[in-house]
Amino acid sequence: MVDPLMLKLGEERSAIRELFEYGSARKREIGEDNVFDFSIGNPSVPAPACVREEIARLLTEMPPETLHGYSSAPGLPEVRRAVAQYIETAFGVPMSASLVYMTCGASASLVAALSAILQEGEEVIVPAPFFPEYAVFVRTAGGKLLPVPTDKSFHLDLTAIERAIGSRTRAVLVNSPNNPTGAVYGEGEMRALGELLRRKSAQFGAPIYLVADEPYRELTYGAKPVYPMAVYENTLVLYSFSKSLSLAGERIGYIAVSPRCARAEEVFAAVCGAGRAHGYVCAPTLFQRVVSACLGEVSDVEVYRANRDLLYTSLSDMGYACTVPEGAFYLFVKALEEDAKAFAERAKAHELLLVPSDSFGVRGYVRISYCVPRRTIERSLPAFRALMDDYAR
Ligand SMILES: Cc1ncc(COP(=O)(O)O)c(C=O)c1O
């Protein structure tokens, strides 16, 4: 016998992964260029030069037994110091190396942070639509995910959040720039969220944590997201270099617990415990070193901006309804029928791979990942037109 929940998770792949696997098989059948694979958020822009340069330098200058050996469980001390220093300088908030935990990307950050703060049955509020794996990570941590709607431009609906907060609420999980909508929460709404959490924490006599999942922080098209620690004290920032440095396969990121957090050392110790319990100690050491030399560097966002502009303008001109993304590399488009899964199936007939919104916690949309080569977008446009024509008949 195996654990039934784990069996279910393993057998039912996520909608995104399912489509990604379908796309790989379909490309083998009809050729790479004939499938318009918008399924997964795999960065299409190469990592900045500093990444390769640092890898080359480390490989030539460091003895392999040191380079590839274990680090301390929360990471190399000099890397944790560099991350803390970077947060202080870039965002103007106090940070301490002793509250930085290096992890294997945002996924591990989420599992470890949520496991650290949640007790069985406690609730995590998340604005919907949201990254589907949140449901898995919150459940793994013993919690209960409570989606609340966003407003019509996919920004925070503070009234809905306030209504959802109760005595079992332990955290609000936000993701800005957002996957799947591209919304970037403004400073005003983040400050108002901080104020609300402060008030509700006082009312219920226990901290309600702000958990900020930030793998897209630098990928914006003009918007400058406020640093969550600057607006609220009980904050954990979860960061990943998967998207900003195009290192998705290298599994590297960190958790930063705000020094202003109530009992910050205890929260951090629980993060260490969760990292230990889930086997996330000692994030990949080569890449700990690489990212610490590349803090503040970003892959070329202008490539994503050009993709966004082409896709948004072309689809809007054809009559598709979508909101212009302010960040990340996803376009969230209204499906042409109520059932987004049925719509995505019809899109597949035109070799368009679009993720239906159901697993993002809302109905009636599809997500397009535009972190693809530009020619994929150019070549896909007739297929989008043909799909629209299908519904015009
Ligand atoms: C919002 C969000 N959080 C977390 C992750 C997981 O990121 P990582 O690859 O760093 O585990 C993703 C990946 O797409 C994401 O979009």
Compute the distance from residue 389 Cα to the ligand 1 centre, in Å: 34
Residue 125: beta bridge partners? 146, 172
Q: How many domains does the chain fold into?
A: 2
Of the residues 293, 325, 340, the one at which a domain ends: 293
Distance, in Å, from the CA atom of 304 to the CA atom of 377, rounded to the nearest integer, reads 12
Of the residues 258, 293, 328, the one at which a domain ends: 293
> Does 326 contact ligand 1 (Cβ within 6 A)?
no
CATH number at residue 162: 3.40.640.10
Q: Which residues have C-beta within 8 Å of that of residue 326, sequence separation ≥ 6?
A: 177, 182, 183, 184, 220, 221, 222, 223
Task: Report cis status (omega within 30 of 0) of the bond before 74.
Answer: no
Element of type H or E holding 292: helix 285-293
Compute the distance from residue 390 Cα to the ligand 1 centre, in Å: 34
Residues 19, 34 within the same domain: yes
393, pLDDT greater than 80: no
Residues 145, 246 within the same domain: yes
Q: pLDDT by residue (tens digit) across 120-177?
A: 999 999 999 999 999 999 999 999 999 999 999 999 999 999 999 999 999 999 999 9
CATH number at residue 41: 3.90.1150.10
Q: What is the pTM of this model?
A: 0.97
Residues 128, 273 within the same domain: yes
> Does 242 contact ligand 1 (Cβ within 6 A)?
yes
Residues 21, 159 within the same domain: no
- What are the DSSP calls for 165-209, one per residue? --TTEEEEEE-SS-TTT-----HHHHHHHHHHHHHHHHHHTSPPE
Residues 279, 211 within the same domain: yes
Compute the distance from residue 215 Cα to the ligand 1 centre, in Å: 6
Residues 21, 116 within the same domain: no
Residues 57, 32 within the same domain: no
Residue 212: beta bridge partners? 174, 237
Residues 311, 268 within the same domain: no
Q: What's the pLDDT score for residue 215?
A: 98
Provide the 3-class DSSP secondary structure of residue 163: helix
Residue having the nearest C-alpha atom to atom 2 of ligand 1 = 131
Residues 311, 184 within the same domain: no
Of the residues 268, 293, 318, the one at which a domain ends: 293
Residues 73, 186 within the same domain: yes
Residues 177, 187 within the same domain: yes
Neighbours of 66 (CB within 10 A): 9
Percentages helix, strand, coil for the chain (3-state, rounded to 5) are: 50, 15, 40
Q: What's the pLDDT score for residue 17?
A: 86
Q: pLDDT by residue (tens digit) across 181-208?
A: 999 999 999 999 999 999 999 999 999 9
Q: Residue 271 is part of which domain span? A: 50-293
- Tokens linked to 227: 């640093």
Residues 19, 64 within the same domain: no
How would you list the strands of the sheet with 365-369, edge to edge?
330-334, 365-369, 355-356
Closest ligand 1 atom to Cα of 130: 1
Q: What's the pLDDT score for residue 100?
A: 98
14, pLDDT greater than 90: no
Spatial contact of 240 and 253, defined as CB atoms under 8 Å apart: yes
